[in-house]
Amino acid sequence: MKIQCKRVYDPADKSDGYRVLVDRLWPRGIKKTDLACDEWDKALTPSTELRKAFHSDAIDFNHFSQQYRAELAQHTQEGQRLADIARQQTLTLLYSAKNTGQNHALVLAEWLRGF
């Protein structure tokens, strides 16, 4: 299973395989016609409340990760679908966060690897 995370602002590459936008909000500064992605999966994104709490520094990344995993547990069927895609080809999770070391796409990728 090959899952990678990539910022939406980075250029698309053939090695990306199946590209899924995993942000609840459309990325700023990108036209919908300009983003190379196969789908926009809002079901597996953090809730608005959780996203706002993390971005306002009300909670740290560890607490965010735990809460996000709890939310993801409610979407196992959707997670299984993406994990099945990742078994057949590279799955690239697209996100717009500036922090490449601590973001929801990394938590999601780790969760998907558990299927």
Contact, 73 vs 47, CB < 8 A?
Answer: no
pLDDT band at residue 78, thresholds of 50, 70 and 90? very high
The model carries a pTM of: 0.95
Residue 59 has a pLDDT of 94
5-45 pLDDT, tens per residue? 999 999 999 999 999 999 999 999 999 999 999 999 999 99
Among 97, 69, 87, CA closest to 3: 87
- Average pLDDT value for residue range 62-78: 97
- Average pLDDT value for residue range 88-100: 97
Map out the domains of the chain as residue ranges.
Answer: 3-113
